[in-house]
Structure 1
Amino acid sequence: MHILVVGLNHKTTPVEIREKFQFQSDMDQALTTLRQSKSILESVIISTCNRTELYVVADQLHTGRYYTKMFLSEWFEVPKEEFSHHLLIREDEHAIEHLLRVSCGLDSMILGETQILGQVREAFLKAQELETTGTILNYSFRQAITLAKRAQAETEINDNPVSVSYAAVELGKQIFGDFKGKQVLVMGAGKMSELTAKHLTSNGVDQITVMNRTKEKADALASRFAGASRPFEQLTESLLETDVLISSTGADQYVLNASDVKQIMKKRKGRPLFLVDIAVPRDIDPGLGELDDVYLYDIDDLQGIVQSNLEVRKEAAEQIELMIEEELVIFGEWLDTLGVVPVMTALRAKAKTIQEVTMESLERKLDHLSEREKKVIRKHMKSIINQMLRDPITALKEVPNENDPDALLEYFSKVFKLEEHMDEEEPRITSNIKINRQERQYNIARRKAAIGSKKKAVVRSC
């Protein structure tokens, strides 16, 4: 069997194509239908605003590719010719690598964003609930989710803002320490203003006022964040009580002039006013920055912060790439055990059965034994069994490295007559997924050397 990723994302596909492949409330039926497609043995669907990706285990690569494409075409009623050349397709080793990168935020539009981890986890749990996953995808997704959590905890991948709206809020925190008790005015009600309001509320702001030339839009945005809206005509007097103003209106001329604010600042009596202009063209007269107690930042100032933080994220991403290489080696080692585990389980089950039958016979023939004596006998019988199993189990663990492991496992099962002890619900899995561990080990050494060199360079520069 093989693992496949087939899908469309922001790197491969324009938005006018992506928007045709968004799952709505029909995810349950979609997962079940995909799993029931010919050649598909397991399935998980990740569907976000930037990606729709099908993760499947297929009995053959070519049929797996064909039927996943057919599923997308039939489910969304879009001819294959319209999207096939946009498809991202990853197979086996590279499919696992892609899942790990997606979960860690390395494949996201914003490097290192953390929302994708929750989306991957939700997609996996949904597939588990509908029983469309099995041994391969269960292990793969658990490994990916665990790695992503570790990457967030052990690196600085998401510690620094790389969006302009987030940077604006972080800059305000640097100046005020925190936003507790601060009055915040958001000018504009578009997407950028919405993101800004979201970051503000997550950082403790509980008093947001929204202004927009369209009152309905201002009311809608304010209500989403338990704020208030005001008419645009009240802008000047609103500045009397405002501590922070963040503006993104889309106006073609200044909406806030230096002459107006100069009079307001006299009435504020030295209380600082923090202004962030993230609009292009600018909303705020740059002459405001020359006034006492006014701190004005425009989008270029924020871009400098964003670029600096992006460099930090890139360094963290290099560390995560190393983690991914190490996880791929671990995945390869796990794959090697797939065929062995049921045989080992059967061997232990047979040994346990022999032990229990023998103990029952002893208890019948020696009915005078005390409970303590029975306990001692059980303990020693278990010790004998474990010692007898040690060498066969060690030999089993080495089977995957042989030229013909399937033949050896079959021979092993016949020698020990394990057929009746094999769990029919846990069939032995034959996987064709190959991990080039030699290449991965080389990549690990190379990445460690590169990271080490950068650390030495930093020390020397200090």
Structure 2
Amino acid sequence: MEIVVVGINYKNTPLQIREKVAFSKSDLERAYVQLANNHYIKELVILSTCNRSEITAVVTEVEKGVQALKNFYYRFFSLEENVLEDYFFLNTSDEAVKHVFHLAAGLESLVLGEDQILGQVRDAHRFAHEQGRTEAILNKLYREAVTTAKRIKRETAISENSLSISSIAVKFIEQIFEDLNNKKVLVIGVGKMSRIAIENLMAKGVEEIYVTNRTKGHAIDLSKRYPEVGVIDFHDRYKMIPQIDIIITSTSAPHYVLKKEEFEKYYNKDNKVCIVDIAVPRDVDPEISSLKGVSLYELDALKKVSLENMESRMEAAKVAVEIIIEECIKFENWYHCLPVFPAIEGLKTYGETILAEEFESLTKRLETASKKDKELIEIVMRSLMKKIIKKPILNLKRAGEDQQGELYARVASELFGINGYSCKKR
């Protein structure tokens, strides 16, 4: 068994490609069902965010498991042959483990050290676990990665000057307009990214903010939290365009929520409109950018702003990497010891069986011994048994850490007659 990570991310994959392989929640449910019967893939976690789409898996054979995951991407999203080949990244074994730890800590994010990814990683693991697609290995890996990420945030300043994608979008808009006080803003979508954008807009002094969402009740709930925010019916979103200076959109819709033909009907060519689309897949028809006076910015345009405060975060990242190295070694030692754990349990059971048999035989011959004497004899015998098997157990663990666990476990099982115990990574 080996751990692998296969996917694409913002580092070398343009938005136009990333949006083709973005999983919605309903997609995830179907994806887990489709991958359930692949005999090369024993465990998996799918993570899909605006900047990445990747699958961490435990596979029986690396080459065949990786190819199965790549083929799945093409089949599931009905993609043309080889369209992803220049963009796929692959991590295996210890590098795959390190990737998951770095990911949870925000070291793989567009915004170094950002907080949102930790929740996304945790939710991805939880959902996979609910679908019955994670077992001992990935459960341990993701729990340790999340715990380590929390430790890094406590012990370093990596998140202090960090910005979320939503706050970067507002900062980006501020650079364009300089003064946002008298601007009117329409926010499409009511998810976490939209809420962060609203809070940042209010902090910048924006007084007129409107929100719209396909489910109007969710928008009304949001306006209760922010009384200053007005609610617009989703069907009336185009009618607001003549009054609006800025549009920020972040929905999970699989199609455009702003289309050029509808946008043109209401757009006043004498006005200037700034649109920031931070959704994946994109919410805004790219053709809208061809209209006079319209400035459309997509996710990849925000990279420059994300580099601000990078120096202080880079220093914190160095400390984070040291912590991750320490925790990765612990996980890798545990992982490489998986083949010896059944043998160790078998050895303990073997010792307990002998102890029980010999204690029973001895006490039958010591009919005059008191209850207290028999308890003392059992304590001494148990202590002796533990000392006898202590060295073999330590050597088995050491062999596991040296990646010789299967060999030593097999030998120990044969020597002590505990062949009923599996000696392979499960």
Residues in 1 aligned to 2:304 and 2:75: alpha-carbon distance in whole angstroms: 47
* Alpha-carbon separation, structure 1, partners of 2:319 and 2:402: 34
- Taking the aligned partners of 2:407 and 2:362, their CA distance within structure 1 comes to 38
Name the aligned partner's letter for residue 339 of structure 1.
Answer: P
* CA distance in structure 2 between the partners assigned to 1:164 and 1:365 by the alignment: 77
In the TM superposition, what whole-angstrom CA distance separates every residue of 1:287-310 from its partner, at most 9, and x where no partner exists?
xxxxxxxxxxxxxxxx99986633
Supply the distance in 2 between the matched residues of 1:57 and 1:139 (Cα, whole angstroms). 12
Q: Distance in 2 between matches of 1:168 and 1:105?
A: 18
Match of 1:73 in 2: 74
2:250 corresponds in structure 1 to: none
Which amino acid in 2 is paired with 1:381? M
Identical-residue share of aligned pairs (%): 31
Match of 1:310 in 2: 310
Partners of 2:41 and 2:395 in 1: how far apart? 34
Match of 2:84 in 1: 83
Closer, same or farther in 2 for the Cα pair 1:404/1:48, shift >3 Å?
closer
What's the counterpart of residue 353 of structure 1? 353
Q: Any idea what SS the aligned residue of 2:82 has? A: helix
- Return the offset for 1:129: 2.7
Q: Deviations along 1:287-337, whole A, 9 cap, x unmatched?
A: xxxxxxxxxxxxxxxx99986633222221122122223333333333442
What is aligned with 1:295? none
Mapping for residues 145-164 of structure 1, pairs under 5 Å: 145-162=146-163
Q: CA deviation at 1:382?
A: 0.8
Counterpart among 205, 208, 211 of residue 210 in structure 1: 208
8 Å CA contact 2:333–2:401 kept in 1: the answer is no
Worse-superposed segment, 364-373 or 62-71:
364-373
Q: Name the structure 2 match of 1:319.
A: 319
Q: For each residue in 1:127-183, what CA deviation from the matched residue of structure 2 results, as whole angstroms up to 9, or x when unmatched?
A: 22333223332232222112111111111111124369748999xxxxxxxxxxxxx
Matched residue, 1:98: 99
Partner of 1:188: 185
Note the residue ranges of structure 1 that are not aligned, 5 or more in a row. 171-183, 232-246, 256-280, 282-302, 432-462
**Contact 1:187–1:193 (Cα < 8 Å) also in 2:** no
Query: What residue is the counterpart of 1:428 in the other structure?
Result: 423
Amino acid paired to 1:328: C
Q: What is the deviation of 1:408? A: 4.0
Paired with 1:210 and 1:379, the residues of 2 have a C-alpha distance of 77
Written as runs of structure 1 = structure 2, the 5 A alignment for 1:169-188 is 187-188=184-185
Aligned to 2:139: 138
Displacement of 1:92 after TM fit?
1.9
Q: Displacement, 1:96? A: 1.6
Of 217, 222, 225 in structure 2, the residue corresponding to residue 224 of structure 1 is: 222
- The residue type equivalent to 1:344 in the other structure is I
Structure possessing the higher radius of gyration over alpha carbons = 1
> Could you say which residue in structure 2 is the equivalent of 1:267?
none
Contact 1:46–1:120 (CA under 8 A) maintained in structure 2:
yes
Rounded to whole Å, the distance in 1 between the matches of 2:8 and 2:403 is: 39
Deviation at 1:10, TM superposition (A): 2.0
- Stretch of structure 1 that moved more, 148-157 or 354-363: 354-363
Change (3 A) 1:368 1:84: same
Residue 153 of structure 2 aligns to which amino acid in structure 1? Q
**Aligned AA (1:13):** T
Distance 1:100 1:197 in 2: 31
Q: Is the 8 A contact 1:162 1:310 kept in 2?
A: no
* SS of match in other structure, 1:12: coil
Matched AA of 2:313: R
Q: Could you say which residue in structure 2 is the equivalent of 1:50?
A: 51
- In 2 relative to 1, CA 395–186 (structure 1 residues): closer, same or farther, beyond 3 Å? same
1:7 and 1:52 in contact (8 A); partners too: yes
Instruction: Summarize the Cα distance change of 1:392–1:318 in structure 2 as closer, same or farther, 3 Å threshold.
Output: closer
Q: Which residue identity is paired with 1:428?
A: C
| 1:224-273 Cα distance to aligned partner (Å, 9 max, x none) | 23224579xxxxxxxxxxxxxxx963798899xxxxxxxxxxxxxxxxxx
Give the Å deviation of 1:104: 0.8
Separation in 2 of the partners of 1:51 and 1:168?
18
Partners in 1 of 2:162 and 2:53 — Cα distance? Answer: 26
Shift of the 128–316 alpha-carbon distance from structure 1 to 2, 3 Å rule, reads same
Aligned partners of 1:323, 1:126: CA distance in 2, in Å?
A: 27
Aligned-partner Cα distance in 2 for 1:332–1:361: 44
Tell whether the 8 Å contact from 2:337 to 2:401 is kept in structure 1 after alignment: no
Distance 2:80 2:314 in 1: 39
Residue 121 (structure 1) aligned with residue 116 (structure 2): no
* RMSD over aligned Cα atoms: 4.2
Between the aligned partners of 1:212 and 1:332, the Cα distance in structure 2 is: 50
Change (3 A) 1:368 1:209: farther
Matched pairs, number: 347
Unaligned stretches of 5+ residues in structure 2: 172-180, 232-243, 248-267, 274-292, 294-302
CA deviation string 1:400-442 (max 9, x = no partner)? 477966444333322222224x2xxxx32259xxxxxxxxxxx
Alignment partners' CA distance in 2, 1:13 and 1:307? 18
| Alpha-carbon distance between aligned partners in 1 of 2:92 and 2:169, rounded to the nearest angstrom | 41
TM-score (norm 1): 0.63
Equivalent residues of 1:21, 1:52 under 8 A apart: yes
Q: Is the 8 A contact 1:210 1:221 kept in 2?
A: no
**Which whole-Å CA distance do the structure 2 matches of 1:116 and 1:365 have between them?**
66
Q: Any conservation in 1 of the 2:3–2:56 contact (CA below 8 Å)?
A: yes
Aligned to 2:60: 59
**C-alpha displacement at 1:349, in angstroms?**
0.9
Q: For the residues of structure 1 that align with 2:158 and 2:102, how far apart are their CA atoms? A: 13
Q: CA deviation at 1:108?
A: 1.4
- 1:30 positional shift: 1.7
CA distance in 2, matches of 1:197, 1:419: 63
